[in-house]
Chain A
Amino acid sequence: MPVATTNKMTGAKMVMEAFKEERVEVVFGYPGGAVLFIYDEIYKQNYFNHILTRHEQAALHAADGYARASGKVGVAIITSGPGFTNAVTGIATAYTDSVPLVVISGQVPITQIGTDAFQEIDAVGISRPCTKHNYLVKNIKELPRILKEAFYIARSGRPGPVLIDLPKDISATLGEFDYPKDIRLVTYKPTMKGNARQITKLKDAINDSKKPLFYIGGGAVISNAYSEIRELIKLTNIPAIETLMARGICGDTNPLFFGMAGMHGSYASNMAISECDLLISLGARFDDRITGKLSEFAKNAKIAHIDIDPSSISKIVNANYPIVGDLKNVIKELLNILGDYDKTKTKKWLETLESYKKKHHFCYQDSDKILKPQWVIEKIAQMTDANAIISTDVGQHQMWVAQFYKFMQPREFLTSGGLGTMGFGLPAAIGAKIAQKKKYSINISGDGSIMMNIQELITCIQSGIPVINVILNNNYLGMVRQWQTFFYEKRYSNVDLTCQPNFVKLVESFGGIGFEVKTKKEFEKALKEAMNSNKVSLLDVKIDRMESVFPMVPSGGAIYNMMLN
């Protein structure tokens, strides 16, 4: 190998330099043959931290959790073949929720690509439908540009994961490292500013409507538009509802906030959608978990849809007022031209919604004999005083958290909304704790979900990341059991989890602390200890086995037809 001159370096070193330029502070990953040169450079550098997870899926979720909690780009490195295929679920999870990631995967040497070499897989082919963009690096000369583009594409426009598949020989080849200052992507120019005429039309529509409603989605979090949205709500007196991905935008104590919408949404929010005459989507994408039966969705309303991704607009519901642009910019514009808006005109509409809120709010039958999951969640909110980032897995516990935790800020709730990935919670909590060191990082999980990435407890130990895990243990794949209860005549096929590990001993064997919790008192004591311990902890909370999530809109039904209890 030729001796390196000062301005020449290997591909592996270029990756390090690019990370430095992009101010990467943490990388999650798992080594292997195809990324040995990269890991050798990681060993030599000292500007970022590398967290060794115990599974590539977890490396991706951790990078994802870091990105969601910080608003920055998450970075992960994995090896070729099985390393990459293990990571696919994590990549797809981030893609579906528009999370910015840069993923570097090792690949067999260029000369061996296409030979079915050991640990070869077509990473670019497999990841095409679940990345915003991907690259196979075929020449060292392209690498600096690709690295620069990857970070830019990941974080701009509608964010998403970008994969760089880097053959081993290229990571060892010497080349010139000219990190581009500017991006010259002639084909990629996201629309940031909304069309002024369209925004004026929307303003007029708001003025003309009697029952307007803000329908806020994950795009509001991504564009950091929450203070603008709060201002808009306050200024107009227009009620607002949130999707699962937008929890925290309004602040749950905001009097103009009427709850989460959708399949397990509040009565008031679903009725608000059904009765409003102008539905203004702020970065929400009309997911089927929200709309229910499409022909019945917002039947009386004109639709305004603001989204940075033109392909989202009118994809599912036809928009009367389509506006392509960054939400923060568009709302700022709207605030500028709103002028003498009559704040009092929504009074009657608000009274109606208020009466719906009173009639059916999220509630449960509390008990002193058996722990109710909803009580546990309310208690967590109370005891952490909203100084926590909550991640969840997928199932009933996820919906109870969305319903009963008091979210006051965005980026406090990390959940796999789009793909619905069990196994997301614990690794995401690891990433979140690194992003927000001063907050508690609490993973609220189910006894089914926690098993999907439980090995990451040891990552917490090795890297000193004190994640609190609260397992709402119902000895069931609870959400599936709930569906079987209502729609399959209680044929509980393969959802029984009475055969379980001893979770307390299990977390102890990893080096953390564990608590078995059966009563309210035990819970408060255990959570307090966990919060004070600065160690990874797990609370095995035995909850009422048969508790269901209500309200519930049967899938395919109209959202105003809710099963309320």
Chain B
Amino acid sequence: MKKRRIISVTVLNEHSVLSRISGLFAGRGYNIESLTVAPLQNSELSRITIVTSGDEKVFEQIVKQLHKLIPVLSVIEDEDLIEKETILAKIPIDQSISDIDALCKAYNGGIANANDKYIILTITDNPNRIDCFIKAIKQFKPKEIIRSGVIAIEQH
């Protein structure tokens, strides 16, 4: 059965480590829904969060193959992860700012900037709620919506 999965990979920050990871997915035909990466605080490590989907067997192979890469320190495939995602959206200025602001607040976000043409708003929430927000914001005729990848952390 195909299922959405999140994999968190901790790697050494070395030359072309990201292309090793993405190359592994590409070379073996695994799909990547989203991928985020940034260095971890005060270390030589980076954390890569990958959202993918596949059946149990494919997923098991992905995890094993990731472990096999030399710069990979750990692979976390915990079901019990807190996930967050961010979006930035650009709304024409002629829309109702107070309504937009209220909507953003409902999603723990707000207006990041405004100029003579557009309001830029941002929210950070879990991916399901982001989906809802995108549906809701549609009524304000967004010019552009940019969605980040997922970052995730184990609960325990």
Is there a chain A Cβ closer than 8 Å to B23's Cβ? yes
- Cβ-defined contact, B70 with A129, below 8 A: no
Main SS at interface, chain B: helix
- Cβ-defined contact, B70 with A153, below 8 A: yes
A132 and B68 alpha carbons, distance in the complex (Å): 9
User: A129-B27, A310-B64, A311-B65 known; A188 and B70 CB under 8 Å?
Assistant: yes
- Cβ-defined contact, A185 with B70, below 8 A: yes
Is there a chain A Cβ closer than 8 Å to B105's Cβ? no
A135 and B71 alpha carbons, distance in the complex (Å): 11
Name the contact of B68 in the complex, choosing from A125, A311, A314 (C-beta under 8 A). A311
- A186-202: CB near B (< 8 Å → 1, else 0) gives 11100000000000000
With a CB–CB cut-off of 8 A, which chain A residues contact B20? 128
Is there a chain B Cβ closer than 8 Å to A419's Cβ? no
User: A124-B16, A315-B61 known; A309 and B68 CB under 8 Å?
Assistant: yes
| Residues in A144-170 with C-beta less than 8 Å from chain B | 153
- Cβ-defined contact, B23 with A311, below 8 A: no
A268 and B72 alpha carbons, distance in the complex (Å): 44
- Cβ-defined contact, A314 with B72, below 8 A: no
Is there a chain B Cβ closer than 8 Å to A138's Cβ? yes
Is there a chain A Cβ closer than 8 Å to B101's Cβ? no
Residue of A nearest to B74 (CB): A187
B90 → chain A, closest Cβ, in Å?
Answer: 34
Is there a chain A Cβ closer than 8 Å to B15's Cβ? yes
Name the contact of B71 in the complex, choosing from A128, A129, A138, A187 (C-beta under 8 A). A187
Residue of B nearest to A130 (CB): B27
Residue of B nearest to A318 (CB): B57
Is there a chain B Cβ closer than 8 Å to A332's Cβ? no
A310 and B72 alpha carbons, distance in the complex (Å): 15
A310 and B97 alpha carbons, distance in the complex (Å): 56
Name the contact of B15 in the complex, choosing from A132, A136, A153, A185 (C-beta under 8 A). A136
User: A128-B20, A153-B70 known; A187 and B64 CB under 8 Å?
Assistant: no
With a CB–CB cut-off of 8 A, which chain A residues contact B71? 187
- Cβ-defined contact, B23 with A129, below 8 A: yes
B142 → chain A, closest Cβ, in Å?
Answer: 37
B23 → chain A, closest Cβ, in Å?
Answer: 5
Name the contact of B72 in the complex, choosing from A128, A138, A187, A315 (C-beta under 8 A). A187
B44 → chain A, closest Cβ, in Å?
Answer: 10
With a CB–CB cut-off of 8 A, which chain A residues contact B70? 132-133, 153, 185, 187-188
A16 → chain B, closest Cβ, in Å?
Answer: 24
Most chain A CB inside 10 Å of its own CB: which residue of B15, B70, B73: B70
A309 and B67 alpha carbons, distance in the complex (Å): 10
- Cβ-defined contact, B67 with A136, below 8 A: no
A185 and B72 alpha carbons, distance in the complex (Å): 10
A125 and B23 alpha carbons, distance in the complex (Å): 9
Is there a chain A Cβ closer than 8 Å to B88's Cβ? no
> Interface extent on B, as a size class?
10 to 19
B129 → chain A, closest Cβ, in Å?
Answer: 35
- Cβ-defined contact, B15 with A125, below 8 A: no
With a CB–CB cut-off of 8 A, which chain A residues contact B72? 187
A200 → chain B, closest Cβ, in Å?
Answer: 24
A402 → chain B, closest Cβ, in Å?
Answer: 29
Is there a chain A Cβ closer than 8 Å to B81's Cβ? no
With a CB–CB cut-off of 8 A, which chain B residues contact A124? 15-16
A548 → chain B, closest Cβ, in Å?
Answer: 35
- Cβ-defined contact, B61 with A187, below 8 A: no
With a CB–CB cut-off of 8 A, which chain B residues contact A135? 15
- Cβ-defined contact, B23 with A128, below 8 A: yes
With a CB–CB cut-off of 8 A, which chain B residues contact A125? 16, 19
Residue of A nearest to B28 (CB): A129
Residue of A nearest to B11 (CB): A187
A138 and B13 alpha carbons, distance in the complex (Å): 14
- Cβ-defined contact, A311 with B16, below 8 A: no
- Cβ-defined contact, A314 with B60, below 8 A: yes
Is there a chain A Cβ closer than 8 Å to B12's Cβ? yes
With a CB–CB cut-off of 8 A, which chain B residues contact A185? 70
- Cβ-defined contact, A310 with B67, below 8 A: yes
| Residues in B71-127 with C-beta less than 8 Å from chain A | 71-73
A310 and B66 alpha carbons, distance in the complex (Å): 11
A58 and B61 alpha carbons, distance in the complex (Å): 33
With a CB–CB cut-off of 8 A, which chain A residues contact B16? 124-125, 128, 136
A186 and B11 alpha carbons, distance in the complex (Å): 10
Residue of B nearest to A315 (CB): B61
A124 and B12 alpha carbons, distance in the complex (Å): 17
With a CB–CB cut-off of 8 A, which chain A residues contact B12? 186-187
- A312-326: CB near B (< 8 Å → 1, else 0) gives 001100000000000
The 4 closest A-B pairs by CB, nearest first: A311-B64, A133-B70, A187-B73, A129-B27
Using CB atoms and an 8 Å cutoff, list the residues of chain A in contact with chain B.
Answer: 124-125, 128-129, 132-133, 135-136, 138, 153, 185-188, 309-311, 314-315
Given A153-B70, A311-B68, 20 new contacts (CB under 8 A): A124-B15, A128-B19, A128-B20, A128-B23, A129-B23, A129-B27, A132-B70, A133-B70, A136-B15, A185-B70, A187-B71, A187-B72, A187-B73, A310-B64, A310-B67, A311-B65, A311-B67, A314-B60, A315-B61, A315-B64
**What are 28 contact pairs spanning A and B, CB under 8 A?**
A124-B15, A128-B19, A128-B23, A129-B27, A132-B70, A133-B70, A136-B15, A138-B15, A153-B70, A185-B70, A186-B12, A186-B73, A187-B11, A187-B12, A187-B72, A187-B73, A309-B68, A310-B64, A310-B67, A310-B68, A311-B61, A311-B64, A311-B65, A311-B68, A314-B57, A314-B60, A315-B61, A315-B64
